[in-house]
Amino acid sequence: MPKLFFTFLLAVATLCTQAQNVGIGTTEPALSAQLDVSSTSKGFLPPRMTAAQRTGISSPANGLLVFQTDYPSGLYYFNAGAWSTVAVPTHHPSVTVCTQRWMDKNLDVTTYRNGDTIAYVPNMAVWATLTTGAWCYYNNDPSLNATYGKLYNWYAVNDPRGLAPAGWHIPTDAEYTTLSTCLGGETVAGGAMKVSGTRNWETPNAGATNSSGWSGQPGGYRNYTGEFFNTGFRGNWWSSTENTSADAWYYYLNYFVTHFSRQANDKRVGFSVRCLRD
């Protein structure tokens, strides 16, 4: 009888220990984990719900994790009274110019921030009729992507799903003016922003020093008719600021002057995009 009783006590103690440290797929859960899930063929699936259902959770605890199924979809966690998305850090080479932190090359993404695909439209006639976001390579040549990035119409720039990666945004007209002013003003700022030499820029690439590190390249543009122009001669960058219902502000560099100039153009035009840190 004493032996049987001792065996019973040992079994109870074992169950209590296991209840404090549960393993799924493993017989030796980590001591620091309340729940240790081990698998090489399956993943962890949190509760899935809409945004309305997520915000309807009563008194959520800090650290609560769910997957939101509707826009903007993704993992959300609750902390300090608010829900936030679980952002995946991505490294983007950048440079500080005065008080601003800029990407040091043109954008070349093919999806919006939420993962939705941006339309790739090489066809000239289709491009001319677009009223939604799209991108293309200059002259439909993928080999130019590494140097010049992609060209986007302004509808992609303005899409609520976000063209810029998390932590970045497309600069406003005012933010581009801040950049120009800090580099000496419109008539000279371009020299400090252009990549020097004539490997990509046409001769004379006037005043180009790239002293700011902004590394402006002459990526050309795609006209609203779908035709391509001016690679080697001009670099053009959309701002996020609308001018009228038909056009928006952009800035450009030229091969024969040191200007960094501002103008408005048709939203169907394909320009380069440069991102600014939030």
Tens-place pLDDT, residues 18-53: 557 787 888 888 887 777 788 888 888 899 998 889
Out of 53, 85, 117, pick the residue that ends a domain.
85
Per-residue model confidence (pLDDT) at position 15: 47
Q: How far apart are CA 38 and CA 30, in angstroms?
A: 10
The pLDDT-based confidence of 119 (bands split at 50, 70, 90) is very high
Per-residue model confidence (pLDDT) at position 8: 46
- Is there a single domain that holds both residue 128 and residue 257? yes
Q: Which of 85-89, 189-193, 205-209 has the lowest mean pLDDT?
A: 85-89
Q: How far apart are CA 235 and CA 221, in angstroms?
A: 8
- Is there a single domain that holds both residue 103 and residue 176? yes
219-241 b/e (C-beta count within 10 Å ≥ 16 → b): bbbbbbebebebbbebbbbbbbb
| Position with higher pLDDT, 221 vs 44 | 221
Q: Which of 32-36, 61-65, 168-172, 196-200 has the lowest mean pLDDT?
A: 32-36
- Is there a single domain that holds both residue 58 and residue 185? no
Per-residue model confidence (pLDDT) at position 12: 44
Q: How far apart are CA 180 and CA 57, in angstroms?
A: 48
Q: Which of 88-92, 99-103, 173-177, 190-194 has the lowest mean pLDDT?
A: 88-92
- Is there a single domain that holds both residue 152 and residue 14? no
- Is there a single domain that holds both residue 225 and residue 254? yes
Tens-place pLDDT, residues 127-149: 999 999 999 999 999 999 999 99
Out of 85, 115, 131, pick the residue that ends a domain.
85
The pLDDT-based confidence of 63 (bands split at 50, 70, 90) is confident
Out of 39, 60, 85, pick the residue that ends a domain.
85
Quote the mean pLDDT of the chain.
89
Report whether 149 contacts 131 (CB < 8 A): no
DSSP three-state, residue 192:
helix
- Is there a single domain that holds both residue 130 and residue 164? yes
The domain in which residue 38 lies consists of 2-85
* Count of domains observed in the chain: 2
Whether 54 has a pLDDT exceeding 60, the answer reads: yes
- Is there a single domain that holds both residue 80 and residue 144? no
Per-residue model confidence (pLDDT) at position 9: 44
Whether 74 has a pLDDT exceeding 90, the answer reads: no
Q: How far apart are CA 147 and CA 25, in angstroms?
A: 48
| Position with higher pLDDT, 44 vs 87 | 44
Q: What are the Cα distances from residue 28, in Å, to 16, 17, 18, 43? A: 15, 12, 10, 19
Whether 88 has a pLDDT exceeding 80, the answer reads: no
- Is there a single domain that holds both residue 26 and residue 116? no
Q: How far apart are CA 162 and CA 85, in angstroms?
A: 14
Report whether 155 contacts 134 (CB < 8 A): yes
Q: How far apart are CA 17 and CA 33, in angstroms?
A: 13
- Is there a single domain that holds both residue 198 and residue 260? yes
The pLDDT-based confidence of 87 (bands split at 50, 70, 90) is low
- Is there a single domain that holds both residue 117 and residue 254? yes
Per-residue model confidence (pLDDT) at position 164: 95
- Is there a single domain that holds both residue 76 and residue 213? no
Q: Given its phi and psi angles, is residue 163 left (phi above 0), alpha (psi -120 to 50 degrees) or beta?
A: alpha
- Is there a single domain that holds both residue 20 and residue 158? no
